[in-house]
Amino acid sequence: MANITLRQLKYFEALAEHGHFGRAAEACAVSQPALSVQIRDLEEDIGAQLFERGARQVRLTALGERFATRVQDILRSVDELEDLARATGDNLIGRLRIGVIPTIAPYLLPRVIRALSETHRGIDLHVRETLTDRLIRELLDGRLDTAIVALPISEPGLEEVALFDESFMLVRPGDEAGQPVPRAEDLARMRLLLLEEGHCFRDQALAFCNIRPAVPGDGLDGSSLSTLVQMVGSGIGVTLIPEMAVPVETRSADVSVARFGQPEPSRTVGMIWRKTSPLAPQLRQVAEVVRRAGEDQKKAQADLDHSFS
């Protein structure tokens, strides 16, 4: 038992999560034989089998399931020790693991990365783009330091910091430019194209239109805003997108963009992190950088709108 290493525990956690030697090895950036050897040595050290090896899948044994809980606690404690070391100075230097939801990442992240590289020299950014539920889970598990999401999250273990508000824009086929903007209740009767289940932006759009999520529609569920905009350009329906996405997603599509009347539909963009994180003071600095990037993005969009008016 004295020979167990942190490397073995990290490989064990990856294999338990992925249930496949190849995918676990890829996640750990090692070869499959190297990971297999470490798992075999770990099982020999504890004198018991932790995994059932099938032809296509690997499963935890009963002991492996109990072992996994303890391993997760150990690895999270190691991460917290690293966080303590990184939190000793005023500036955040070293690794920063940041998550971003897909309806923000492509549009805001370039500005954020440039700004962080200038304000926090020596920072090593690791970016994870995925849905809100997964970001929350990975934050609570200690696999991320912070995340940029749409608020509120209402997770007791996470700190929420609101950064800026952003309007939703109506995207219609190009030949509908200049037509009256439909009201929210009118959208509920139109062919409204939405992101697929799991995207918080979908839920926000449904809430604005007062459409119950359980009611099926005749629209299209897309995996990205780009897909939805292109489908609108083909004349299939209409959609809503966040204002920051307009310059990127509409430049190559035959669509028109309109702003809703007051009160405009909008979302609050913010950052979240664990309430117990030793990096909280540094993450507040990062939050300020993200806030400025968001405000710069809005100003650039306003200048673009003015040039076309």
Reading the block at residue 170, the tokens are 């109506």
Domain that holds residue 17: 6-85
Same domain, 254 and 281: no
Same domain, 122 and 151: yes
Same domain, 157 and 225: no
The pLDDT value recorded for residue 308 is 46
Same domain, 274 and 157: yes
Per the structure, the count of domains in the chain is 3
The pLDDT value recorded for residue 248 is 93
The pLDDT value recorded for residue 52 is 93
The pLDDT value recorded for residue 32 is 93
Give the DSSP per-residue string, 130-176.
--HHHHHHHHHTTS-SEEEEEEP---TTEEEEEEEEEEEEEEEEGGG
Sign of CA dihedral 166, 167, 168, 169: negative
Same domain, 258 and 281: no
In a domain, 1, yes or no: no
Same domain, 258 and 179: yes
**Which H or E run contains 76?**
helix 62-86
In a domain, 99, yes or no: yes
Best CA proximity match to 292, nearest among 269, 274, 273, 262:
269
The pLDDT value recorded for residue 216 is 47
Question: Of 59, 85, 111, at which residue does a domain stop?
Answer: 85
In a domain, 252, yes or no: yes
In a domain, 152, yes or no: yes
Write the single-letter amino acid at 115: A
The pLDDT value recorded for residue 256 is 95
The pLDDT value recorded for residue 252 is 87
The pLDDT value recorded for residue 263 is 86
Contact 149, 272 (CB under 8 A): yes
Contact 280, 146 (CB under 8 A): no
Angle (CA) 286 287 292, round 5°: 100
In a domain, 72, yes or no: yes
The CATH number that applies at residue 29 is: 1.10.10.10
Same domain, 170 and 259: yes
d(CA 132, CA 100): 8
Contact 127, 147 (CB under 8 A): no
Same domain, 288 and 213: no
Question: Of 52, 85, 118, at which residue does a domain stop?
Answer: 85
In a domain, 96, yes or no: yes
Question: Of 22, 57, 85, at which residue does a domain stop?
Answer: 85
Best CA proximity match to 145, nearest among 18, 281, 295, 292:
281
Q: Considering just the CA atoms, what is the radius of gyration of the chain in Å?
A: 23
The CATH number that applies at residue 144 is: 3.40.190.10
In a domain, 68, yes or no: yes
Same domain, 301 and 241: no
Per-residue pLDDT of the chain in tens (309 residues, 90 and over written 9): 568 898 999 999 999 988 999 999 998 889 999 999 999 999 998 999 999 998 788 999 999 999 998 898 888 777 777 766 666 655 566 788 999 999 999 999 999 999 998 888 788 899 999 999 999 999 988 889 999 999 999 999 999 999 999 999 999 999 998 899 998 888 888 889 999 888 898 888 888 887 766 544 455 678 899 999 999 999 989 999 999 999 999 998 999 999 998 888 999 999 999 998 888 888 999 999 999 999 988 887 776 665 544
Same domain, 160 and 276: yes
The pLDDT value recorded for residue 291 is 96
Q: Given the structure tokens 């209402």, which residue do they identify?
A: 154
In a domain, 18, yes or no: yes
The pLDDT value recorded for residue 36 is 94
Same domain, 139 and 198: no
d(CA 134, CA 198): 10
Same domain, 182 and 62: no
Q: Which residues of 192-203 are buried (b: 16+ CB within 10 A; e: fewer)?
A: bbbbeeebbbbb
The pLDDT value recorded for residue 87 is 63
